[in-house]
Structure 1
């Protein structure tokens, strides 16, 4: 069976450490080419991950040997590159978030809906074994009534202007601060488990740093069953934490650290630590699922329409903060 030939657009840290190794180790895939506007970065990349090199995006997606495109570029390029690749008759797997804002995301969704190619978004935490564990607990009613979901992420992020990640603090390029960055991953998991919240109220501010994106966000949401969600995303604390907790009348589950190997499950007063490690390369199940969707003619786990749900929540968060009121979804 011929392999799915990938074009990897962007050669940053995630592409180097996770995406390229995942493609190379997926038995039905081939890392055919990489594209980066920097010849120096691209040449350094292919020394570790052998592939053809393109410096021009249009030329790269015009290559008839390319079957699928992984877009690993800054957020402001996602819409344009996704649409161009789809129109070039390529399957597309795009880094998260889907686009800079709701308007751009809707445009990608419209184009993807009219394409016969597959389109997915790299919300890879949906493939965590702990995610499936919680899904099964919800399906079996083990939580009882879910009454509260708590999401927290805080770290220190204050890049210098010559840092390759500086684009993350430019709102025109990133779409926002920690909400757009790690927040979208956590909101995607929330949406996957409970669907889109029915309301959002948020305070979003820059308390510590001098950049124009937020470094602090506090959010209260209400789920369809009435449960509350309390979330805080910060880039202004050197005391790192990353956790996710679901609390029900009968049981609760806590992921702390969020990406760690253990889950803390509490039923009544009985507490158990469950070993449930992720794949050694968290992007591998994402790539595996996308290749299967292409070969089997089904949709990937996170489609453009599914990723749009997270963008809608993020849009509501910023709306609420700007208008000082609750936003209904």
Structure 2
């Protein structure tokens, strides 16, 4: 029966490179909406119908052991310590199924890992953000991808979140009026910095601010930088904070604030139009509309409103969204990729303009 299945019906074979937080470990967080990792998707009901994890790669032995335990994998399941050209080329040449490689390693390794996989014959890549550490690397990766006739997705997951998609559609239709100003915040804590404060992972602007910059590009188009400021610790080359003022098309002014020195985590996009205010946040989505004021005679004040048919939070999952698109594109049911390499080159260009602004002053 398996031999009679069409290629479009067969499961997509997956290589998972890196078995850390976003690959698997965050699935153990009892408070997060599931699935919230790549392995979580692959082992979900949807994942099991469409994908088959055939190979994993992780340099750290402890993580390899933890991964086996977490997902109940048998001892014979192949988890390699490093990329093995012979095994990956064999994986890529198999005619029985399409394939996908997921790169969930530290940011500094994305470029080299993707290059190797493309050169080994892998045709579909999903790479964690940022796709590379510089625009130059992004361009080189795009050129190699085109040469190898391959595809690259980048996991800026909010592009696939039903609530962000819903709001973006209404904004583009003009349902909230004309956008005039935007405030984007990404705040994290230096007490638990991960790779956001390391030379290998970049500062909070590159490591975390990329999410805000992605939404700015996605919602409003590529903006032009007017002013930027970076704050550095007394000793060190990795910024503590980055602020920037951009202008986008149609007169939209955008203020970006990325900081790693807060005692809390917050991601928020505050959009102000001529008639509405919208807050899109990890803490929730809120909407206001200008109505006759109860405080000042002859004035309009913002009043909270409910949005009809707003997606249910329980049914909103960005990780499932990006993998659904991957399935549709690989099986020929869809052509367009939402989080493609070209968009991410533009995002890296905008981030670099902030880093380079200080040098040009």
Q: Under TM normalisation by the shorter chain, which class is it?
A: 0.7 to 0.9
The residue aligned with 1:132 is 165
Deviation at 1:295, TM superposition (A): 1.1
3-state SS of 1:57 partner? coil
CA distance in 2: counterparts of 1:75 and 1:9, whole angstroms: 13
Give the paired residue count: 313
CA distance in 2: counterparts of 1:313 and 1:53, whole angstroms: 37
3-state SS of 1:81 partner? helix
For residues 61 and 279 of structure 1, do their structure 2 counterparts lie closer, same or farther at Cα, with a shift above 3 Å needed?
farther
Where do 5+ consecutive residues of structure 1 fail to align?
325-329
The residue aligned with 1:168 is 196
Match of residue 259, structure 1, among 282, 290, 297: 282
Runs of 4+ in 1 over 6 A off after TM superposition: none
Q: Would you say the 8 A contact 2:196–2:208 is kept in 1?
A: no
Residues 102-128 of structure 1: per-residue CA shift (max 9 Å, x gap): 111111111122232221111111011
CA distance in 2: counterparts of 1:282 and 1:99, whole angstroms: 22
Alignment RMSD? 2.1
For residues 200 and 72 of structure 1, do their structure 2 counterparts lie closer, same or farther at Cα, with a shift above 3 Å needed?
farther
3-state SS of 1:77 partner? helix
Q: Would you say the 8 A contact 1:179–1:217 is kept in 2?
A: yes
For residues 229 and 79 of structure 1, do their structure 2 counterparts lie closer, same or farther at Cα, with a shift above 3 Å needed?
same
Q: Would you say the 8 A contact 1:170–1:211 is kept in 2?
A: no
Residues 71-90 of structure 1: per-residue CA shift (max 9 Å, x gap): 01111111111122122221
- Whether 1:2 aligns to 2:1 is no
The residue aligned with 1:291 is 327
3-state SS of 1:97 partner? coil
Alignment of 1:103-114 (within 5 A): 103-114=136-147
Q: Would you say the 8 A contact 1:129–1:278 is kept in 2?
A: no
Q: Would you say the 8 A contact 1:169–1:212 is kept in 2?
A: no
Q: Which has the larger radius of gyration?
A: 2
Deviation at 1:20, TM superposition (A): 0.3
Residues 167-221 of structure 1: per-residue CA shift (max 9 Å, x gap): 43223x12x21111221011101101111102342101124x8553111111110
CA distance in 2: counterparts of 1:282 and 1:132, whole angstroms: 10
Match of residue 221, structure 1, among 242, 246, 265: 246
Match of residue 89, structure 2, among 62, 66, 69: 62
The residue aligned with 2:348 is 311
For residues 321 and 130 of structure 1, do their structure 2 counterparts lie closer, same or farther at Cα, with a shift above 3 Å needed?
farther
Deviation at 1:34, TM superposition (A): 0.9
TM-score by length of 2: 0.81
Where do 5+ consecutive residues of structure 2 fail to align?
1-8, 28-36, 291-301
